[in-house]
């Protein structure tokens, strides 16, 4: 069930129909005149990956799945649904999966990459919302869920709110939902900031680097397939939270020419 923005925007079908490519973007947009691809980092996602891929392909024609060491049918289900698939021999982590996808796709001439989780929480039909936000000249567009935090468990609410406030403080910019994985990354951002962390901490650290290197971040609220993703997430609360804290600290104080 999805709630929150249905009454505030046109129907999902209308958005997908009007924005299959990045038409009408502002002159200063880093994706203007270029191609946009979708990447889906996937681990043990056989039950959901096929549907996610098929729905993504209705919006944009280029979908790359990084099968991150799954031992189920994730790779075959993704291929059957029409995606290009790169399989890692062992699990490397979400950050490594995305870094690999960025290297492959940007090397092929794409100007931006949209990241979608494999579990079905992110609605591919909301992808045009991210693309339209790029018209504001954004290097990083975050599809945020903070308007839906009340639908999450108390533990999930607290974790998301506290992490977003802490990272916003370090970054010097307010970001309402720093843990969202539904994003648009420009090539310009990745060229400047890199994406070195191997696991979930990469998505937090890149926000810090984006601010430090003068890249523009835009947040837009999106609808979800389901608000609380604890049952499908591979996030480990203690270990990954410590990794995030360390990565954010490094990103804040590192110096790159």
- pTM equals 0.79
User: ∠ at Cα 115 (45, 134), nearest 5°?
Assistant: 160
At 256, the pLDDT band (50, 70, 90 cuts) reads: low
Q: How far apart are CA 45 and CA 117, in angstroms?
A: 10
Q: Are strands 84-88 and 110-115 parallel, antiparallel or unpaired?
A: unpaired
pLDDT at position 149 is 44
Categorize the per-residue pLDDT at 257 as very low, low, confident or very high, splitting at 50, 70 and 90.
very low
Query: Residue 197: what pLDDT?
Result: 92
Lowest-confidence pick of 101-105, 143-147, 242-246: 242-246
Which neighbouring-strand residues pair with 185?
Answer: 113, 140
Q: What six digits make up the tokens of 217?
A: 């971040």
Helix axes 237-253, 154-171, angle to 10 degrees: 10
- Segment 138-164 mean pLDDT: 65
Instruction: Give the per-residue SS3 of 107-128.
Output: HCCEEEEEECCCCCCECHHHHH
* 15-19, 125-129, 230-234, 243-247: least confidently modelled range: 15-19
Residue 237 has pLDDT above 90, yes or no: no
- Give the domains, in start order, of the chain with CATH numbers: 12-253 (3.90.550.10)
Q: What is the pLDDT of residues 39-80, one digit of tens each?
A: 999 999 999 999 999 999 999 999 999 999 999 999 999 999
Q: How far apart are CA 158 and CA 106, in angstroms?
A: 36
Question: CA distances (Å), 80 to each of 5, 45, 64, 65, 101, in order?
Answer: 32, 14, 13, 12, 19
Q: What is the mean pLDDT of the chain?
A: 80
Query: What is the model's pLDDT at position 13?
Result: 40
pLDDT of 239 reads: 62
pLDDT tops 80 at residue 125: yes
Instruction: Catalogue the long-range contacts made by 12-17 (C-beta closer than 8 Å, 24 or more residues apart).
Output: 12/123, 12/125, 12/126, 12/223, 13/125, 15/125, 15/126, 15/128, 15/129, 16/58, 16/59, 16/125, 16/127, 16/128
**pLDDT confidence of residue 245:** 63
Confidence of residue 160 (pLDDT cuts 50, 70, 90): low
pLDDT, tens digit (0-9, with 9 covering 90-100), for 131-146: 999 877 899 999 986 5
Q: What is the pLDDT of residues 168-186, one digit of tens each?
A: 777 678 776 888 999 999 9
């Amino acid at each position: 069930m999805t709630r929150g923005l249905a009454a505030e925007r046109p129907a999902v079908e209308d958005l997908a129909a009007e924005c299959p490519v990045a038409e009408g973007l502002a002159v200063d947009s880093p994706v203007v005149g270029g191609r946009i691809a979708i990447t889906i980092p996937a681990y043990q996602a056989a039950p959901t990956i096929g549907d996610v891929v098929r729905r993504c392909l209705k919006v944009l024609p280029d979908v790359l799945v990084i099968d991150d060491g799954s031992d189920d049918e994730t790779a075959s289900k993704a291929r059957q649904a029409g995606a290009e698939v790169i399989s890692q021999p062992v699990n490397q982590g979400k950050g490594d999966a995305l870094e690999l996808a960025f290297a492959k796709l940007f090397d092929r001439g794409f100007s931006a990459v949209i990241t979608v989780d494999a579990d079905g929480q992110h609605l591919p039909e909301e992808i045009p919302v991210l693309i339209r936000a790029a018209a504001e000249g954004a290097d990083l567009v975050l599809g945020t869920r903070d308007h839906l935090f009340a639908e999450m468990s108390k533990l999930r609410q607290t974790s998301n709110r506290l992490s977003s406030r802490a990272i916003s403080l370090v970054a010097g910019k307010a970001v309402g939902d720093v843990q969202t994985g539904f994003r648009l990354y420009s090539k310009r951002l990745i060229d400047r900031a890199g994406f070195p962390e191997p696991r979930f901490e990469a998505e937090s650290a890149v926000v810090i680097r984006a601010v430090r290197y003068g890249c523009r971040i835009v947040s837009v609220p999106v609808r979800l397939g389901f608000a609380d993703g604890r049952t499908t997430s591979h996030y480990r609360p203690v270990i990954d939270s410590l990794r995030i804290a360390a990565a954010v600290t490094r990103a804040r104080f590192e110096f790159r020419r």
